Amino acid sequence: MPSKLQCMDCKTDYAIDEVRYVCDECGGLLDVIHDWTDITITRELFDKRLGSLQPPYNSGVWRYKELVYPDIDDSLIVSKPEGNTNLYPMPRLASWAGVDTLYLKHEGENPTGSFKDRGMTGGVTQARVLGMDRVACASTGNTSASLASYAALAGMEGIIFLQNKAIALGKLAQGLAYGATCLRIDADFDRNLELVREASEKLGIYVLNSVNPFRLEGQKSIMIEALQQLSWQAPDWIVCPGGNLGNSSAFGKGLKEMYDLGLIDKLPRVAIIQAEGASPLYESYLSDFQDYEAQKAHTIATAIKIGNPVNYQKAVRTVRWTNGVVESVTDQQIMDAKALIDRAGIGCEPASACSLAGTRKLVEKGIIEPGSTVVGILTGHVLKDPDATIGYHSNMLEDITGQYANRLLQVGDDIDAIVEILDKEKVPV
Ligand code: F0G
């Protein structure tokens, strides 16, 4: 049977080639469901494709084609190729966080500098299947950068709705550079998401926010690739930031599918970390998801400045499926954790640092045990938000102290002064 769309709540089925984001019957979010009865899926199948130079298997998404979109005609795939990101063992950060073993999987190493490329290859490929020539999204910046790039690659018009102030410089630059139609709108991300859905409905444009389930099929591959890099030995915990909750939703689906197919022997627990000022999932978690209230979001981590996440229901499902947890961290904790990740030579944008800050907090709370193996997901590249980085190191961020700041040393054109400084300044170890 070909893949289909299915409502996550009432299980109504829809054809895979319908332009649709929610269920007609109940308004529920949709999953892409594949039929694997006639396909043999093994670790070996994916292992023998490692290192392949052949499209589509040279992509860290399409290496797992059978899990992502088995029936897709290879000629329709729009790929840069993405994925193949590093999984770094981080012993020093592990001891800072209080766990035995910590890996950081750096999704900022994707072609446009964030994990969104894994979703975008899925979404833009589906846009091709559907014969769409215009694709759009609302974005805090990374989705728009990725959409702009993949739309250009596919010869489609990319249209991006950006909120007025809170977009990091690197991301704004990418949208403009890749030639998207860029609308800066005097509204926050949550309102822009409503606007893009309305405008797209009126104009027949394909929406590529993470409400689009083909995005999440691509993003599942973060988990598949991480598990393959660990020789299919599941860690105890996966820790990731949560904004619009697409990634955490994709992780739950991907992990459960891998477990059901026998690719992994146990399900890691997923911890979703939100910024304190943008934490509707965390607040809801405190009532065991009985209550939910949208928020007006505030955080320095502009990527996750989201008060009404579209994938809330799917993220709740991830927490339930994996015996997961939700936590929140302050902007100070985010920026300090980022400084440590940066200084380790790895680097990330502020939102990504939720993974490390959240791990430490969950260890302090006794939820993550010290003997655990943790995989933290770094979602975006250090160059995305230079203002936040430089602001931290020059102690210029409001309400944040640059306690791990690396001071910029100012010195005149004077060899004696330079020698004197370098004599005194200690190289950090
Ligand atoms: N980290 C980064 C760097 C992001 O850009 C985002 C989301 C997240 C984490 C949160 O992921 O939404 O799947 O929970 N950025 C979106 C955007 C919203 O428009 O670029 P999520």
Mean pLDDT, residues 119-126 taken together = 98
3-state secondary structure 226-290: HHHHCCCCCCCEEEEECCCCHHHHHHHHHHHHHHHCCCCCCCCEEEEEEEHHHCHHHHHHHCCCC
Closest atom of ligand 1 to 244 CA is: 12
Centre of ligand 1 to C-alpha 352, Å, is 9
108 lines ligand 1 (CB under 6 A): no
Q: Which long-range contacts (CB under 8 A, 24 or more apart) does 291-300 make?
A: 294/190, 296/188, 297/188, 297/189, 297/190, 299/275, 299/331, 299/334, 300/275, 300/331, 300/334, 300/335, 300/350, 300/388, 300/397, 300/400
244 lines ligand 1 (CB under 6 A): yes
Contact 244, 274 (CB under 8 A): no
Centre of ligand 1 to C-alpha 70, Å, is 26
Q: Which of 379, 384, 385, 389 to mutate to test ligand 1, by most ligand atoms within 8 A of the CB atom? A: 379
Q: Which of 219, 247, 319, 383 to mutate to test ligand 1, by most ligand atoms within 8 A of the CB atom? A: 247
Whole-prediction pTM: 0.97
Worst-scoring range by mean pLDDT, 72-76, 133-137, 328-332, 418-422? 418-422
Centre of ligand 1 to C-alpha 387, Å, is 18
Centre of ligand 1 to C-alpha 371, Å, is 30
Q: Which residues does 316 contact at the CB level (< 8 Å), separation at least 6?
A: 281, 284, 289
Contact 304, 242 (CB under 8 A): yes
Closest atom of ligand 1 to 352 CA is: 1
Query: Is the per-residue pLDDT at 140 higher than 90?
Result: yes
308 lines ligand 1 (CB under 6 A): no
Mean pLDDT of the chain: 97
252 lines ligand 1 (CB under 6 A): no
349 lines ligand 1 (CB under 6 A): yes
Query: Is the per-residue pLDDT at 149 higher than 70?
Result: yes
For 298: left if phi > 0, alpha if psi spans -120 to 50, otherwise beta; the answer is beta
Other C-beta atoms lying within 10 Å of the C-beta of residue 2:
10
Query: Is the per-residue pLDDT at 68 higher than 60?
Result: yes
The span from the CA of 151 to the CA of 262, in Å, is 36
Q: Which residues does 110 contact at the CB level (< 8 Å), separation at least 6?
A: 82, 83, 85, 116, 117, 118, 146
Predicted local distance difference test score (pLDDT) of residue 163: 85
Centre of ligand 1 to C-alpha 305, Å, is 9
247 lines ligand 1 (CB under 6 A): yes
Q: Which of 135, 209, 244, 299 to mutate to test ligand 1, by most ligand atoms within 8 A of the CB atom? A: 244
Predicted local distance difference test score (pLDDT) of residue 165: 75
Query: Is the per-residue pLDDT at 428 higher than 60?
Result: no
249 lines ligand 1 (CB under 6 A): no
Contact 140, 302 (CB under 8 A): yes
Centre of ligand 1 to C-alpha 172, Å, is 15
Predicted local distance difference test score (pLDDT) of residue 426: 65
Structure-block tokens of residue 21: 């984001």
Query: Is the per-residue pLDDT at 427 higher than 80?
Result: no
Strand-pairing partners, residue 315, are none
Centre of ligand 1 to C-alpha 421, Å, is 41
Mean pLDDT, residues 336-359 taken together = 98
Query: Is the per-residue pLDDT at 429 higher than 80?
Result: no
Closest atom of ligand 1 to 250 CA is: 13
pLDDT tens, position by position, 249-294: 999 999 999 999 999 999 999 999 999 999 999 999 999 999 999 9
Predicted local distance difference test score (pLDDT) of residue 425: 62
The span from the CA of 295 to the CA of 281, in Å, is 10
Contact 324, 258 (CB under 8 A): no
| Residue located via tokens 């308004």 | 27
Delimit the domains of the chain by residue range. Answer: 1-35, 87-113+215-393
DSSP assignment letter at 198:
H
| C-alpha separations of 296 from 26, 163, 185, 316 in Å | 27, 14, 17, 20
Split at pLDDT 50, 70, 90, the class of 166 is confident
Q: Whose CA is nearest to atom 6 of ligand 1?
A: 303
Cα atoms found within 13 Å of the Cα of residue 63, Cβ hemisphere only:
30
pLDDT tens, position by position, 364-422: 999 999 999 999 999 999 999 999 999 999 999 999 999 999 999 999 999 999 999 99
Strand-pairing partners, residue 14, are 5
Q: Which residues does 366 contact at the CB level (< 8 Å), separation at least 6?
A: none
Centre of ligand 1 to C-alpha 379, Å, is 7
Q: Which of 104, 142, 210, 215 to mutate to test ligand 1, by most ligand atoms within 8 A of the CB atom? A: 142
Structure-block tokens of residue 33: 């469901």
The span from the CA of 223 to the CA of 252, in Å, is 9
Closest atom of ligand 1 to 219 CA is: 13
The span from the CA of 269 to the CA of 322, in Å, is 5
Centre of ligand 1 to C-alpha 241, Å, is 8
Q: What's the longest Cα–Cα distance across the chain? A: 77
pLDDT tens, position by position, 173-190: 999 999 999 999 999 999
Q: Which residues does 412 contact at the CB level (< 8 Å), separation at least 6?
A: none
User: Which of 418, 390, 419 shows the shortest CA–CA distance to 168?
Assistant: 390
Centre of ligand 1 to C-alpha 88, Å, is 21
Centre of ligand 1 to C-alpha 36, Å, is 30
Closest atom of ligand 1 to 242 CA is: 14
The span from the CA of 148 to the CA of 179, in Å, is 7
Residue ranges with strand state E in 110-227: 134-139, 157-163, 181-185, 206-207
The span from the CA of 202 to the CA of 254, in Å, is 33
Closest atom of ligand 1 to 114 CA is: 3
104-117 in b/e form (b: 16+ CB < 10 A) is: bbbbbbbbbbbbbb
Peptide bond before 2: cis, by omega within 30 degrees of 0? no
- For residue 346, the one-letter residue type is I
CATH number 3.40.50.1100 given to 87-113+215-393: yes
Structure-block tokens of residue 123: 């979404």
Strand-pairing partners, residue 139, are 162
